């Protein structure tokens, strides 16, 4: 049996925020409406979550670097989230790199992407496309954004700056996403949250499995195995393992990475509980595969430049 992975860990997906800045409208709206959004109450995360809060959560996990993914910062204040991150004490490796927010259908998209790319800490862009017919479960303003010529023209700017695109979507959008990633072979896409298997019905999970398999066949796509507990609130090790197994089967360890999505994933489990599932599952894999999932894939994808260790 392969021994348990105890090496260095990169967390390629988490968020930080300071509510006193009043820059996260989704958190403000949720707080004002009673704390309900998407898959349950957000009450426990409607608080400041900074570097120290994150460090307390990851204290037991040997996390040597992390990637901050845009946290729904207001579009009325473009570029300010990365400037705020630059002002924080990141000397411990927290938020070593950023995935910034740019609305790709913005009239100002070229300037915004160029400005973000000029910051050496910015390695990617995210503009969420997760659309749901139920507005309470939708993260995107409208459906079919990935097919919109204007949005696609905005995406075209990423490749020339060497930026990856973090792709957050639902399984019923994966066919549209497949056309997108095929049409942009020069762009590296990173699917968020295991492809968001939100519909747990038999048909819903079949759609997720088939869609993820198709995306996994594209060499310019990678996968973050993160926040699976958001779609499986009554999770067990066995239930999460089934999803993790399919994720790795579709992408392989060299194109997949474990990630926390904290503090959001903390709605349904502690960080230690979630990483215990990752570590326990990974015991069946080789040490090289474990290192890829916990460290190497994220290190390479997000240009962290950390020395490989086993």
CATH code (residue 264): 3.20.20.140
- Compute the distance between CA of residue 96 and CA of residue 241 in angstroms, rounded to an integer: 29
Residue 176 has which token pair? 């549209």
- Compute the distance between CA of residue 174 and CA of residue 171 in angstroms, rounded to an integer: 5
- Compute the distance between CA of residue 296 and CA of residue 61 in angstroms, rounded to an integer: 16
What total of structural domains would you count in the chain?
Answer: 1
Give domain status of residue 307, yes or no. no
- Compute the distance between CA of residue 101 and CA of residue 107 in angstroms, rounded to an integer: 15
Indicate the average pLDDT of the chain: 94
Spell out the long-range contacts of 30-34 with Cβ–Cβ below 8 A and sequence spacing 24 or more: none
Query: What local confidence, expressed as pLDDT, does residue 3 receive?
Result: 86
Residues 165-173 have a mean pLDDT of: 98
Domain span at residue 85?
9-301
Positive or negative: CA dihedral 120, 62, 190, 43: negative
Over residues 247-276, the pLDDT tens digits come to 999 999 999 999 999 999 999 999 999 999
Query: What local confidence, expressed as pLDDT, does residue 137 receive?
Result: 83
Over residues 9-25, the pLDDT tens digits come to 999 999 999 999 999 99
For a pLDDT cut of 70, what percent of the chain falls above it? 95
Give domain status of residue 255, yes or no. yes
Give domain status of residue 251, yes or no. yes
Q: Which residue has the higher pLDDT, 32 or 174?
A: 174
Spell out the long-range contacts of 203-211 with Cβ–Cβ below 8 A and sequence spacing 24 or more: 204/171, 207/171, 207/172, 207/174, 208/171, 208/174, 209/246, 210/174, 211/171, 211/172, 211/174, 211/175, 211/177, 211/178
Mean pLDDT lowest among 63-67, 139-143, 227-231? 139-143
Give domain status of residue 159, yes or no. yes
- Compute the distance between CA of residue 166 and CA of residue 69 in angstroms, rounded to an integer: 9
Residue 123 banded pLDDT, cuts 50, 70, 90: very high
Residues 171-197 have a mean pLDDT of: 98
Give domain status of residue 308, yes or no. no
φ, ψ dihedrals at 132, nearest 5° = -135, 140
Give domain status of residue 137, yes or no. yes
Q: Is the pLDDT of residue 36 over 60?
A: no
Q: Is the pLDDT of residue 32 over 70?
A: no
């Amino acid at each position: 049996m392969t021994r348990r992975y105890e090496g260095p860990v990169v967390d390629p997906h988490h968020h930080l925020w300071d509510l006193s800045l009043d820059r996260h409208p989704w958190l403000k709206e949720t707080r004002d409406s009673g704390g309900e959004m998407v898959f349950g109450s957000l009450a426990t995360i409607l608080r400041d979550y900074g570097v120290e809060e994150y460090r307390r959560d990851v204290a037991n996990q040997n996390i040597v670097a992390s990637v901050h993914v845009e946290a729904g910062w207001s579009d009325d204040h473009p570029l300010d989230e990365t400037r705020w991150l630059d002002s924080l004490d990141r000397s411990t490796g927290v938020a070593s790199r950023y995935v910034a927010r740019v609305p790709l259908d913005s009239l100002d998209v070229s300037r915004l992407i160029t400005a973000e790319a000029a910051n050496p800490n910015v390695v990617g862009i995210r503009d969420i496309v997760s659309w749901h017919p139920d507005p309470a479960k939708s993260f995107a303003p409208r459906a079919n954004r990935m097919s919109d010529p204007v949005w696609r023209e905005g995406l075209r700017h990423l490749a020339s700056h060497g930026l990856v695109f973090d792709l957050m979507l639902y399984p019923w959008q994966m066919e549209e996403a497949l056309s997108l990633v095929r049409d942009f072979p020069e762009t590296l896409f990173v699917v968020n949250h295991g492809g968001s298997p939100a519909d747990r019905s038999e048909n819903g999970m079949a759609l997720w499995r088939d869609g993820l398999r198709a995306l996994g066949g594209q060499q310019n796509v990678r996968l973050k195995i993160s926040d699976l507990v958001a779609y499986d609130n009554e999770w067990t090790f066995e239930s999460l393992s089934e999803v993790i197994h399919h994720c790795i089967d579709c992408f392989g360890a060299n194109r997949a990475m474990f990630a926390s999505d904290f503090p959001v994933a903390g709605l349904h489990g502690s960080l230690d509980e979630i990483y215990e599932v990752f570590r326990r599952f990974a015991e069946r894999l080789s040490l090289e595969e474990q290192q890829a999932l916990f460290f190497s894939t994220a290190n390479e994808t997000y240009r962290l430049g950390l020395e490989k260790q086993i």
